[in-house]
C-alpha cells in the first residue's frame, strides 16, 4: 500500500462524476474534502483504499457504481466505487483490461 494522502483533483472529479445522482451522493461527496486514501497495489492503475481516522476494522459492503471508459490509448478500463458494510466509501477500484498503468483519469464519464 502507499502513503496516506488526500485525494488529488482528478481522483475527486472522477468520484464526483461516478457518485452524482446516487441516493448516497450528498453524504458521500460532502466528506471528500477530509478524505484520506492510500494507493492500492495494482500496477499503477490508480485504485484507492479509503482510510478511516478511527482505524476500526472494515469490510467490503456493496458496489455503489461501476462504469467503463477507454483510456487515452484506447484500452478499456473498468472503474468501481465500493462501500464498506456501514455505507462509507471503501475503495475506488480501477482495472485496465490489459493490466497496464492508467494513463489519464477520464474527464467525462457516462
C-alpha cell read off for 62: 456493496
Give dist(CA 31, CA 83) in Å, integer.
14
Domain count, the chain: 1
- Determine, yes or no, domain membership for 104: no
Residue 62 sits in which domain range? 5-96
> Is residue 110 one of the residues assigned to a domain?
no
- The pTM (predicted TM-score) of the whole model is 0.88
Query: What are the pLDDT digits (tens) for 23-65?
Result: 999 999 988 888 999 998 866 667 999 998 887 889 999 999 9
Q: The C-alpha cell of 18 is what?
A: 461516478
Asked, for residue 32, whether it belongs to a domain, the answer is yes
- Residue 109 forms part of a structural domain: no
Average pLDDT over residues 90-102: 92
Q: What is the pLDDT of residues 4-25, one digit of tens each?
A: 999 999 999 999 999 998 999 9
pLDDT number for residue 86: 93
Residue (of 86, 69, 18) closest to 48 by Cα position? 18
**pLDDT score at 110:** 61
Amino acid at each position: 500500500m502507499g502513503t496516506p494522502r488526500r485525494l488529488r483533483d482528478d481522483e475527486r472529479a472522477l468520484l464526483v462524476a461516478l457518485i452524482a445522482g446516487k441516493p448516497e451522493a450528498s453524504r458521500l461527496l460532502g466528506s471528500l474534502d477530509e478524505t484520506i486514501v492510500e494507493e492500492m497495489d495494482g500496477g499503477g492503475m490508480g485504485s484507492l483504499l479509503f482510510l478511516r481516522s478511527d482505524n476500526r476494522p472494515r469490510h467490503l459492503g456493496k458496489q455503489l457504481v461501476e462504469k467503463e471508459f477507454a483510456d487515452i490509448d484506447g484500452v478499456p478500463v473498468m472503474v468501481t466505487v465500493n462501500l464498506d458494510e456501514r455505507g462509507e466509501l471503501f475503495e475506488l477500484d480501477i482495472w485496465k483490461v490489459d493490466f497496464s498503468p492508467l494513463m489519464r483519469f477520464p474527464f467525462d464519464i457516462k
